[in-house]
Structure 1
Amino acid sequence: MLTHTRPSIPAPTRGPDPLAELRAARAFLLRLADRGRPALDQLILDVGALAAAEQLTGGDIPEELRGHVTPARVQAAVAGAAGDGEAAARCGARLLIPEDAQWPAAAALTGTVGLWVRGHAGLEILCAPSITLTGSTAASGYGAHVAADFGGELAAAGRTVISGAGFGVAAAVHRGVLAAHGAAVAVLGCGVDRAYPAAHENLLERIAQSGLVVSALPPGTTPGRHRMHGCARVLAGLGEATVVVEAAARCAAMRVAAAARDLGLPVMGVPGPVTSAASVGAHQLIRQGATLVTSGSDVLAALSERERLAADTAEAWGLTPQEL
């Protein structure tokens, strides 16, 4: 059922694609992944992506998925995946999947079905040491200033800087990275072929010129509140640590911090004025154990200390740090 889509799903590299069949299967599965995610992840883990796609398109929908995946949704996903290649080609995007050599090695991305990517940077920047910076869309002047400083400093230190694409902190982070001529990665909560918010179309194009724009959602997907959890998971999973620059008590940045903690990744927070509602969330995270940082160098020092402690612990137990 997916045969006609196989040649049209763009691979990360040019030339014949030995993973064409698998790439088409994952493009289809991505169209089902925004709902019933844990059950779909488990099915893919149990039988593999290709077998999972064949099972679902053959009408054999596991009971634990039936509340989210209906035969009609499967047919819609097949039809949607058939057009994804053309939509991706129009914006220069390609589908990166876990079986690709360029897939980030981060264990936190386990379960991610695939990533649509566009931009002129080499995909190796997704595998390089990276930091996720997040914060409020309603950033104060202080928050925007600090976000740009952190982004520029980390980029100048050779780190890939990951952030969202919204107003406030994310926009300031990317502008700081671009000013430092660093590698910026913008994670979208919509299709990679869309500019959201629309006011950031030029900013996203600038990011794509020297970095990457990434989405775990199929081309053409519109933003939606129910998709925010998946976006937060990708944001957190791409970085080796998440830094919350400025956040109110309830904002999307707190979801990213929660995702990082769920994935076992370090969370750091930037303190702000105690009179500012925009810093309540960051202060809350610090009280809960997030590392307090005031500069990009603090972030790098905290990661170095974490790595040293892991190495010491591993040596004491006769293990490698990766085995801890």
Structure 2
Amino acid sequence: MKKITLLLSLFLASIFATLQSQSIATYDIVFTSTWNASEHTNAMDMSLPGNAHWSKLVGVNHNSDVDFFEVGQMATLGVELIAENGTNDVFRDTDVQNAIDALDAQQYINGPSLSTAAGTITITGLEVNQDFPLLTLLSMVAPSPDWYIGLDGLNLLDASGNWKTSITIPMTFVYDAGTDSGSNYTSGNNDANLPISIFDMSNTIEPFNGNDIGFIEITLTNVLSVEDLNSIDAIKLFPNPSQGKVTITNTRDLETVEVYNILGRLVTRIQVQQNPTLELHLSHLSKGLYVVKMTDINTNTKTQKLILE
């Protein structure tokens, strides 16, 4: 009996430790392009194309059960279309959505494009759940036959399971999707009769001869624990006093909001859809003092006085 009790205690401790470790990290991502004619052209063509630019920086955060592109593997249609013409609809709606449906990915990442060869693309406030800590990003080298830069499943957690605070990844090569037979920036789209697997155009392959084409910086800006997310005390209601429009934040685990008048009569009841923010529209109520009762999915409650003026 003592052995069973000990095993149960160890099991519960393990579960508690796992729950304690869960968190959501917020990151800012900056891709800095240094694409230029002196380092990224060949002897036959010493200039970049006049419309040199980058397609939207898109991607997904996911777990280790799925991979979106990999050297030595065939490109998906979604990756092919990004690499060949910079369109991301299939990647978003098929590659990423299938992974989300299979519970292997959290979200599609939709960053901006860059209209020039050199410059920066910035993604701010990306929230990453600890269940999906791997980061995949892609952007087309445009124009090009089927070339792109990217990150392939970069782990945002360190060996101890903590969020990495700062990461800088040099883009020392670009990827070739293996789906187009063109050999220079302005080659026409000539789909390869026999597509080959993805490879990196490093060192000996022109026009990319080992010179960095840019770098990606990833910076941790905030970490929010599950305890913060689930705490009924973290819920905030404002403004107060209010003229009728009231915002409630940190409502992910909130189930119901009830508003009572000074006589204790229920005047409004809202079933919450477990979104991070909730707006109450109470302008139809008379001016005066009310009590707002908030109940979460674990039946924890919080009450707060509200003045309508």
Per the shorter chain, which TM-score range?
Answer: under 0.3
Higher helix share: 1
Higher strand share: 2
**Bigger CA radius of gyration:** 2
Higher relative contact order at CA 8 Å, sep ≥6: structure 1 or structure 2? 2
TM-score with structure 1 setting the length: 0.21
